[in-house]
Chains A and B, each alone.
Chain A
Amino acid sequence: MRRVQADDDAQAFAQLMERWQGPIQGLCTRMVGDAHRGEDLAQDVFTRLYSRRKTYEPTAKFSTFLWRIALNICYDELRRTKRRREFSLDEPGDSDIAIEFEADGAAPDQRMVEGERADAVRRALVELAEPYRVVVVLRHYEGLKFREIADVLGIPEGTVKSRMSEALTQLGQTLNPIIAEDPEPQKRAPRANERLLI
């Protein structure tokens, strides 16, 4: 980052992108609940990172700086989506959202089940309040320590942990009944408004 900041080194920035593209895209996708939008937002994150490279203080941790940029972009997007929904006739959750999930070598019926489970998790996460969702995404999916999350969000570590426990409790209430049941793959078809990209 120092090379990018001091010398506008394009090669160094490309290396940064290569290193952080996956985690940032994962964060954006899980925060907004849309893989395609997540990709676009990740691009926005790197654009903003480059434009704000001069504001980065080398004494601070680079990852914290980058996560904050990414979260701010996600919050902006969530606010925009909320405003759009307020002026739209669509029900929340009826948006045309694409889910991309892994189903390496699985049979089609197995893929369908996995797709439905992935969609259930996505919906449950999107329904979580943002303060809980961000903690889940950063700790569970991105693997940040509770201390690091506290630094990124600027809140005490204890608050992060209590939010995490509350988030897991709420997710359990929503997801455990769905995941526990063993669906009959042949009898279940994706809903019309779902696009499952396999």
Chain B
Amino acid sequence: MKTHPNAEEWMSFLYQETSSDQTSELDAHLRQCAECQRQVAQWRGSMASLEAWKMPSAARRQRRAAPVLQWAAAAAVVLAVGFGVGRMTSPSSARLQQLEMSLRAEMETKLAAGRAEMAASLDRRNAEMAPAVQAAAGEAAKREAEALLVKFAKSLDGQREADRDAFVAALRNLEERRATEFATLRKDLDTLAVNADDGLSRTHETLMELASMAQPPATDPR
């Protein structure tokens, strides 16, 4: 065997991942090597120390939940007892069916009678009220037609008034526009006349100037 097994081999040994042959070999070395004994003892100490930090086990978690479970169990027992007592003291199912059937028959009979009575009462009431309803309907229709005519006439008058106002306003507008246009035209004509007059004066002056320049000098006939 070699001098000392290395750390990797010891790790496999300590965590029981070695074959039986390797285990025997390492065991044999450990028995006779003080240095390896110290080293392995230190590692084992560390491994043992790590055990001090345990996680809560499932059993402990269950114990934590135990009060809740106890209450739930108690509630379930109470419910079960209540259900049983109820079942025991209640009538049998056959009796219940019989009761239900008789009640249903009785209710159906009463409902049919009530329906027939209500229909007859409605017919009588209709027959009694028919003439009055017809008369009232004729009167009401007449009043309604009159009201509609009055309303139509009023709306027609209003429409006419509005049309007349609109027509007058349009005439006034047209007249004002015509006056404005006349004033503008007159102003334009004045401007044109002034400009024409000015142009004529300047033309006259130019002609006079040209005439004076074109006159031949005076010559002696002799």
Residues of A in contact with B (beta carbons under 8 Å apart): 22, 25-26, 29-30, 99-102, 104, 114, 117-118, 120-122, 124-125, 136, 139-141, 145-146, 158, 161-162, 164-166, 168-169, 171-172, 175-176, 178-179
Contacts and interface: CB of A to CB of B under 8 A. Distances in A.
B47 A140 contact: yes
Interface in B4-63: 7-8, 10-12, 15, 17, 42-43, 45-50, 52-58, 60
Contacts of B46: 168-169, 171-172, 175-176
A-B pairs, top 8 by smallest CB distance, nearest first, are A165-B7, A161-B8, A117-B52, A121-B53, A175-B49, A172-B46, A161-B11, A168-B46
B17 A22 contact: no
Contacts of B7: 161-162, 165-166
29 contacts: A29-B55, A100-B55, A100-B56, A102-B60, A117-B52, A118-B52, A120-B52, A121-B49, A121-B52, A125-B50, A139-B15, A140-B47, A140-B50, A141-B50, A158-B8, A161-B7, A164-B11, A165-B7, A165-B8, A165-B11, A165-B43, A168-B47, A172-B46, A172-B49, A175-B50, A176-B45, A176-B46, A178-B49, A179-B45
Interface string B52-93: 111111101000000000000000000000000000000000
Interface of B: 7-8, 10-12, 15, 17, 42-43, 45-50, 52-58, 60
Contacts of B42: 168-169, 172, 176
A161 B45 contact: no
A168 B43 contact: yes
B47 A118 contact: no
Contacts, number: 89
Contacts of B8: 158, 161-162, 165
Contacts of A172: 42-43, 45-46, 49
B26 to A, nearest CB: 14
A158 B56 CA distance: 32
Interface centre among B10, B43, B52 (most CB of A within 10 A): B52
A155 to B, nearest CB: 13
Contacts of B53: 30, 99, 101, 117-118, 121-122, 125
Nearest to B48: A179
B216 to A, nearest CB: 117
B49 to A, nearest CB: 4
Contacts of B52: 101, 114, 117-118, 120-121, 179
A114 B54 CA distance: 10
A183 to B, nearest CB: 13
Given A102-B57, A102-B60, A146-B15, A165 B50 contact: no
Contacts of B50: 121, 125, 136, 140-141, 171, 175
Contact of A22 (B10, B47, B58): B58
A19 B8 CA distance: 31
A131 to B, nearest CB: 15
A139 B14 CA distance: 11
A169 B43 CA distance: 6
Nearest to A158: B8
